[in-house]
C-alpha cells in the first residue's frame, strides 16, 4: 500500500498560522482588491459550471470564499481542509449565517473522505500551485475526478504572462550566480503541461479565466468530468 501524499508546507497550518491566514487577505488595499478579483473570477467560474448545488470547497482555508459560495440560497457547502485548525478558524471567523450553511470536514485533497460522485463540483482555490511534482498533481486530479459528479474549479500559476517571465528571469539569474535552487513551495506551471494533465485525469477543459490577462500568473480553470 502506498503512503498518502503529504505536502511539506501543509505542516505549518496550526491555529496561529490559520489566524494569520484569515487576516492576510484583508490587510491593505492591494490585498483587498486582489481578494475582490478572486471572488469575481470564482463567481463567474461557478456560473459557467452551472451554479452547482452541492460544492466541496477544498482546501477551504479560513473560509474566505464561503460568503460567495453561500450567495446561492439552496447551495450546500462542504468546507474541507487538511488542517483542522484551518477549518476551526473558518467556522469561528466567518459570519454565523454563512457558517450555518457549511458542513465542516477535515480531509486531504489526495484522499478525500467522500464516496464516488459525492458532490456536484469541487472548488479548489490556491492549492495546485503548491504542487511541483506531476505525479502528485495527477493523484489529486484523479481523486477529484472520483469524487465530483460534474465539474472542478481550480486556480494555479501558469506561464505566458509578464509575472511568469519575471519569475523565470529571476530564477535564471540566481542560477548564473551559482546560488543554487532555492526551496520552493509555490510553482509556476506551463499551461500546456497542466492542461495535458487535466485530460490525462479524465477532464475536459471548459474555460480559462485569467486574473489579469498577459500580466498575472493566476488562472482559474473550469473542468468538466468526462
* pTM of structure: 0.89
The pLDDT of residue 98 is above 60: yes
pLDDT surpasses 60 at 38: yes
**Whether 159 contacts 102, CB under 8 Å:** no
Mean residue pLDDT of the chain comes to: 90
Strands 119-124 and 54-57: what pairing?
parallel
Query: pLDDT value at position 226?
Result: 93
Over the stretch 113-147, which tens digit does the pLDDT of each residue have? 999 999 999 999 999 999 999 999 999 999 999 99
**Bridge partners, 57 (sequence order):** 79, 123
What residue ranges in 43-147 does DSSP mark as E strands? 54-57, 76-81, 102-106, 119-124
Residue 142 C-alpha cell reads as 484523479
* Other beta carbons less than 10 A from residue 97's beta carbon: 9
Q: How far is CA 49 from the centre of its chain?
A: 16
As a whole number of angstroms, the distance between CA 53 and CA 46 comes to: 10
pLDDT confidence of residue 45: 98
Residue 16, C-alpha cell as written in the block: 496561529
* Mean pLDDT, rounded, for 80-103: 95
CB 13 within 8 A of CB 127: no
pLDDT of residue 17: 65
Mean pLDDT across the stretch 11-26? 66
Q: What is the largest CA-CA distance in the chain?
A: 56
Looking at the DSSP bridge assignments, the partners of residue 28 are none
- On the question of a cis peptide bond just before residue 59, with omega within 30 degrees of 0, the verdict is yes
Residue 28 pLDDT: 80
Q: How many whole angstroms separate alpha carbon 102 and alpha carbon 65?
A: 11
Dist CA 87 CA 106 (whole Å) = 7
Residue 182: pLDDT band (50, 70, 90) is low
End-to-end Cα separation, the chain, in angstroms: 28
Amino acid at each position: 500500500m502506498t503512503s498518502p501524499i503529504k505536502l511539506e508546507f501543509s505542516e505549518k497550518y496550526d491555529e496561529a498560522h490559520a489566524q494569520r491566514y484569515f487576516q492576510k487577505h484583508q490587510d491593505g488595499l492591494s490585498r483587498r482588491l486582489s481578494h475582490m478579483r478572486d471572488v469575481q473570477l470564482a463567481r463567474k467560474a461557478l456560473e459557467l459550471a452551472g451554479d452547482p448545488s452541492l460544492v466541496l470547497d477544498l482546501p477551504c482555508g479560513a473560509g474566505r470564499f464561503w460568503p460567495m459560495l453561500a450567495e446561492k440560497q439552496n447551495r450546500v457547502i462542504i468546507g474541507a481542509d487538511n488542517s483542522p485548525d484551518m477549518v476551526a478558524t473558518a467556522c469561528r471567523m466567518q459570519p454565523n449565517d454563512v457558517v450555518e450553511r457549511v458542513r465542516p470536514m477535515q480531509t486531504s485533497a489526495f484522499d478525500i473522505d467522500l464516496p464516488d460522485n459525492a458532490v456536484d463540483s469541487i472548488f479548489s482555490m490556491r492549492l495546485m500551485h503548491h504542487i511541483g511534482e506531476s505525479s502528485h498533481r495527477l493523484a489529486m486530479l484523479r481523486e477529484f475526478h472520483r469524487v465530483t459528479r460534474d465539474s472542478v474549479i481550480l486556480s494555479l500559476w501558469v506561464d505566458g504572462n509578464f509575472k511568469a517571465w519575471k519569475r523565470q528571469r529571476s530564477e535564471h539569474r540566481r542560477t548564473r550566480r551559482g546560488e543554487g535552487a532555492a526551496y520552493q513551495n509555490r510553482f509556476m506551471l506551463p499551461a500546456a503541461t497542466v492542461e495535458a494533465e487535466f485530460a490525462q485525469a479524465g477532464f475536459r477543459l471548459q474555460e480559462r479565466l485569467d486574473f489579469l490577462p498577459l500580466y498575472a500568473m493566476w488562472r482559474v480553470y473550469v473542468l468538466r468530468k468526462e
